[in-house]
Amino acid sequence: MAGNEIRNGVTGVTLNDASDCTVSGNRISGCGVGVTIWWWHMCPMKEIDIRNRIVGNFITSPKGAGVAIGKRCYWNEVSGNFVEGGINVEEPANAIHGNFLR
């Protein structure tokens, strides 16, 4: 998902049961959460919610976190984003670097 403008949604972008996806170059404003990756506790599948990339996005005025990565979501990368509302990560095995936080 690249180059979109998303405004005033419940969530700007949701990755659930997603792996090896990229969210880049989007302008996300006024949403509940800018970008979220989360694992549903009843899903029996393995190797999901991993290796996603959130790069080069512009996230402003979220009602909650700018970026949120939930439990059992591993090896994701969040880099080069402008983020208001902070970056919340529940698992340490994610790469968070080079973001501008406001």
pLDDT of residue 1: 82
Mean pLDDT (the chain) is 95
Convert the pLDDT of each residue in 8-19 to its tens digit.
999 999 999 999
**Residues 94/74, Cβ–Cβ less than 8 Å:** yes
Q: Whole-model pTM?
A: 0.94
pLDDT of residue 96: 98
15 compared with 43, residue with greater pLDDT: 15
**Residues 8/28, Cβ–Cβ less than 8 Å:** no
pLDDT reading at 59 higher than 90: yes
pLDDT of residue 94: 98
pLDDT reading at 30 higher than 90: yes
Residues whose CB falls within 8 Å of the CB of residue 4, separated by 6 or more in sequence, listed in order: 26, 27
Domain count within the chain? 1
Convert the pLDDT of each residue in 83-97 to its tens digit.
999 999 999 999 999
Residue 81's domain comprises 5-101
pLDDT reading at 28 higher than 90: yes
Give whole-number Cα distances, 101 to 13, 21, 41, 72, 84, in Å. Answer: 19, 23, 30, 24, 6
